[in-house]
């Protein structure tokens, strides 16, 4: 039985994953962490019977629950602090929250190597999205340039998305398209119109009601384009990837980044 503390349990992603996890026979949710609905039973959150486990915002309550694993779906304002706390307390953690800065990820990696914790940072739990990133990195060497358009719901706090940044990183390992944000002849007549710039790739972020999570990786070369596109139309699309991460974290090294650590082509 894997005992799990679910951080960000009251958010949309946290609630969605809770409703699935709570039905797993070999998983027990022993703690819920959030800044809202303090004292609410997690069974009520999941629309099920009273469980006796209540939402807390206190790290000490998490220690008392003695979880085997933390799953973090909080947000950019606290996720880094949560990971450092998990390392300090020798707890394994799967990070599904986005918003970690590159320097924060690197610092986490360095601390993980010296710790007794396993840290698995997963910018996107959708298997389809991970395959999109893998296929994009395979295509990169055969094209002259690449740009990314990512579209998310209007409540998403960070931009660009963690998936877009992870995609740009994966592509740049195979080919560095642009050394600078602008080519010598380029000029923005409206600041920001060329989007963000990460690892040699321009990233354009769209936030609209009605969307969930969508990304297009667009490659261009003489006389042709290639578009690799993925759409998540429901949060349930993340659950198979989450279960894959939970069941395999014990097999991973102390620090891993991306669900592609478990998906091989």
DSSP, residue by residue, 132-147: HHHHHHHHGGGSSEEE
Q: How far apart are CA 5 and CA 147, in angstroms?
A: 38
Closest CA to 262 of 248, 253, 254: 248
Select which of 2, 118, 156, 204 is catalytic: 156
To the query of whether residue 153 is one of the catalytic residues in this protein, the response is: no
- Encoding tokens for residue 161? 């998305």
Interatomic CA distance for residues 36 and 256, integer angstroms: 30
Annotation marks residue 156 as catalytic: yes
Tokens matching residue 228: 């690799």
Instruction: Tell me if residue 65 falls in helix, strand or coil.
Output: helix
What interhelical angle do 12-21 and 239-248 show, nearest 10?
A: 60
Q: What amino acid positions are annotated as catalytic residues?
A: 152, 156
């Amino acid at each position: 039985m894997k005992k799990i503390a679910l951080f960000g349990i009251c958010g949309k992603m946290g609630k969605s994953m809770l409703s699935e996890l709570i039905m797993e026979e070999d998983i027990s949710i022993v703690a819920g962490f959030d800044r809202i609905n303090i004292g609410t039973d997690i069974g009520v959150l999941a629309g099920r019977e009273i469980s006796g486990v209540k939402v807390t915002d206190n790290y000490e309550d998490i220690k008392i629950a003695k979880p085997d694993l933390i799953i973090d779906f909080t947000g950019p304002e606290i996720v880094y602090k949560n990971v450092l706390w998990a390392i300090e307390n020798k707890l394994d953690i799967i990070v599904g929250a986005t918003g970690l800065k590159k320097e924060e990820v690197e610092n986490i990696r360095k601390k993980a190597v010296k710790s007794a914790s396993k840290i698995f940072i997963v910018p996107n739990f959708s298997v389809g999205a991970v395959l999109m990133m893998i296929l994009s990195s395979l295509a990169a060497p055969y094209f002259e340039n690449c740009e990314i358009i990512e579209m998310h719901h209007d409540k998403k706090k960070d931009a660009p998305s963690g998936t877009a940044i992870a995609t740009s990183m994966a592509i740049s390992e195979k080919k560095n398209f642009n050394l600078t944000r602008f080519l010598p002849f380029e000029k923005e007549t409206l600041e920001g119109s060329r989007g963000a710039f990460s690892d040699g790739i321009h990233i354009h972020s769209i936030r609209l009601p009605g969307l969930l999570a969508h990304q297009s990786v667009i490659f261009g070369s003489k006389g042709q384009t290639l578009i690799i596109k993925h759409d998540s139309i429901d949060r349930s699309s993340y659950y198979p990837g989450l279960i894959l991460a939970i069941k395999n974290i014990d097999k991973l090294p102390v620090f891993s980044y991306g669900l592609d650590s478990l998906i091989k082509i």
